[in-house]
Structure 1
Amino acid sequence: MHYNKTALPEPQLLMGLWNKGLRIDDPKSATRALETIGYYRLLIYMRNFQVPTSKRFFVGTKFSDIIELYDFDRHLRLLVLDGIERIEVSLRAALSSKISITHDPHWYMDVSHFDQHIPFVQSQQKIIFETGPESKTRWIALQHYYTHYTTPPLPASWTVMERLTFGVLSRFYAALKLPNRKLTEVVFGFDEKILVSWFHSISFLRNQCAHHGQLWNTKLNKFFALGPNAYRQDFLNANRNELYPRLVAMNLLLKNTFPESQWGERLKGLVNGCRHVQPSSMGFPAGWETRPSWN
């Protein structure tokens, strides 16, 4: 079957929406939204206001309602990225300080500190690409190292860890031997097995956010977060591909590392502040705000 749809100018798109029962309460603003956000990106949010069978809008639905839901998802993504940034920085610091104090600043080059050989080799390849001599012009810290030192052949861990992505860091952490992973427990306050799953799942969430992906009413079908015994109800298998368990993991980590951020309270305000959002669409259980993980 040949795809024969054509691109339409914004006024025609608005007319089509109006014909489906949508109120265009501010045509100028609606036109600008289609120009700067795009009809296709907004389409997924429109579905929340449409009869599934006919695609006609529920009576009284306004274009501004769609934008309000879109803005909620955008603000949620920004809040999640803010929390992930703090967790990512904490992981970098834990790997570069706690393990370096126990061993030495170049411990990451020694395969004896790792349980898994293939991830070790892969991480070394990534480290050489990001921080090797050929990359010294990318960052002033690398220039400093290679200008003043000849051995070891790569910089200290606190320089290296700053150059690795969260995804690489999470795999790097998982490949460490158990005693090395346990050195970081004091920073995050949870068992290393739990942390491995959380870092993987949060890294996957970060990629979703970084590519401006949808968080509201979507499934995350990779890298599921394990639940500590004290918070088992928040990590039920039935909800493992929902956003909610990952947000719980983030909140628990942030309460231990950056409690002054009040990240959980900010999330409560955001989720409860949009009249078009059903928290259950993201896996939030009834009364979630009163659970121990959020207080």
Structure 2
Amino acid sequence: MTKQPFRKAALTPQSLLEKLKSQGLIICNDQLALRCMAYVGHFRLKGYWFHLQDPSTKQFLPGTRFEEIYDHYECDREIRAVVMESAERLEVAVRSVICNFLSLKYSPHWFLDSRIFAPRGRSGVGQVLSKIEAEIERAGSRRYIQAYYRRYDDPYLPPSWAMSECVTLGTWSKIFAMLRDPADRRVIASKFGIKQVEVFESWLHTLTVLRNMAAHHDRFINVRIGVSPTNLKLKRIKFVDNKSVYASLTVMHVLLSAIGFDEPFKARLAALEVRYGSFHFQRMGFPDGWQVNETGWRVSQSPTNNSR
């Protein structure tokens, strides 16, 4: 395909609003729409209306209202807030479990002992250690980091319980994946009610992706997740669509349940479904009646599709 220079001009919020009206979008509240154009952005909102347009003419489907799009955006924003809060809860739990177990079994500086890690090529322990060093350096102004270096110079990094406050969930996911001893991996996974270590490794990666999506303001409604969590056969969890948002949120649900913090997560999602409508949840792959089975969260029913 022959490429061409980009020649589109930037438009004012008012001009963008007029353009949307010319494309058939019904706008009942110009003030709300202008505020959204100015403080949310036309390009960001476009992700919430592209499925409501004719792909060839860019005209909106008959009867499409801006308020419908705004509700779509607000529902997604609130889901993102629930995911971010829950990911923070799980991130703290993951690093606490790994840190406590390995510190007691090996030493408070277990992460400096390369013998407990299996070789992983270019993404091995050396890369993870470099990441830890960089994160601790970035956190150098924190009181507990300064307190360590005022009193000690060996080892050259603070102990695990201080280090754990600095590094990211993605780093903890990699640390778990690189542990050499299968028994270590089993003990850590079992703390979250999972006996299959390969499942827990997959789910940690899924959790990292969810957390990063929420932190970077990605959409959750009407998207596909770039990771496929492994089925948990021992608990009869078999996803119909592993790349659906529903599958990844099920991972979060099960992990939160294992540490006793799942009720607010489920309750807030259920309240959002009531407030904004089930079709938003259907577009994330949630099946009808997802909140009423014996465990409080259905995981095997085929999702219902909704064109709007």
TM-score with structure 1 length normalisation?
Answer: 0.90
The alpha-carbon deviation at position 12 of structure 1 amounts to: 1.8
In structure 1, the residue matched to 2:95 is: 92
Which residue is 1:80 aligned to? 83
Aligned length: 290
Q: 1:4 to 1:268 in 2, by over 3 A?
A: same
Q: Match of 1:215, as an amino acid?
A: F
Verify: 1:194 aligned to 2:196, yes or no: no
Deviation at 1:103, TM superposition (A): 2.1
Secondary structure at 1:40 match in 2: helix
Q: Superposition pairs for residues 116-265 of structure 1, below 5 Å?
A: 116=119, 118=121, 119-131=124-136, 137-177=140-180, 178-191=182-195, 192-222=197-227, 224-236=228-240, 239-259=241-261, 261-265=263-267
Residue pair 1:123, 1:172 contacting (<8 A) in 2 also: yes
Deviation at 1:144, TM superposition (A): 0.6
CA contact (8 A) 2:232 2:238 kept: no
Q: CA deviation at 1:276?
A: 7.5
How far does residue 292 in structure 1 lie from its aligned partner after superposition? Answer: 4.4
> Residues 27-79 of structure 1, C-alpha deviation per residue, up to 9 Å, x if partnerless?
11111110001111111212243344433223332212111100111111111
Contact 2:139 2:166 in 1 (8 A): no
| Residue aligned with 1:145, SS | helix
Shift in alpha-carbon separation, 1:193–1:9, aligned structure 2, 3 A: same
1:260/1:289 CA distance change after superposition, 3 Å: closer
In the superposition, relative to structure 1, how do residues 2 and 276 fare at CA in structure 2: closer, same or farther (>3 Å)? farther
Write the distance in 1 (CA, Å) between the matches of 2:288 and 2:235: 15
In structure 2, runs of 5+ residues without a counterpart are 298-308
Q: CA deviation at 1:240?
A: 1.5
In 1, Cα distance between equivalents of 2:278 and 2:286: 15
Is the CA contact 1:130–1:164 (under 8 Å) kept in the aligned structure 2? yes
1-structure distance, mates of 2:14, 2:208: 40
Give the superposition deviation at 1:170. 0.6
Report deviation, 1:143. Answer: 0.7
Residue 11 (structure 1) aligned to one of 1, 14, 24:
14
Distance 1:40 1:276 in 2: 25
Which one has a larger percent helix, Structure 1 or Structure 2? 1
Deviation at 1:285, TM superposition (A): 2.8
CA contact 2:53–2:60 (8 Å) conserved in 1: yes
Taking the aligned partners of 2:138 and 2:58, their CA distance within structure 1 comes to 53
- Give the corresponding residue for 2:290: 288
Classify 1:276/1:186 alpha carbon distance in 2 versus 1 (closer, same or farther; 3 Å): closer
Tell me which moved more, 134-143 or 209-218: 134-143
Deviation at 1:205, TM superposition (A): 1.7
CA 1:153/1:50 → structure 2, altered by over 3 Å: closer, same or farther? same
Question: Residue 253 of structure 2 contacts residue 262 of structure 2 at CA under 8 Å; is this kept in 1?
Answer: no
Bigger shift: 29-38 or 178-187?
178-187
Counterpart code for 1:26: N
SS at match of 1:240: coil
Q: What CA distance in whole angstroms lies between the structure 1 residues aligned with 2:120 and 2:226?
A: 27
Q: When the two structures are superposed, what TM-score results if normalisation uses the length of structure 2? A: 0.87
Segments of 4+ in structure 1 off by > 6 A? none
Say if 2:109 is the partner of 1:106.
yes
Cα contact 2:48–2:72 (8 A) shared by 1: yes
Amino acid at match of 2:93: S
Closer, same or farther in 2 for the Cα pair 1:258/1:46, shift >3 Å? Answer: same
Contact 1:197 1:225 in 2 (8 A): yes
Percent same amino acid among aligned pairs? 30
Q: Do 1:252 and 1:293's aligned partners in 2 also have CA atoms closer than 8 Å?
A: no
Deviation per CA, 1:232-286: give whole Å up to 9, x if none.
Answer: 45424xx112111110010011011133642122212223432383433222233
Residues 52 and 195 (structure 1 numbering): CA distance in 2 closer, same or farther, change over 3 Å?
same
The Cα shift of 1:3 comes to: 2.2
The answer to whether the 8 Å contact 1:234/1:245 transfers is no
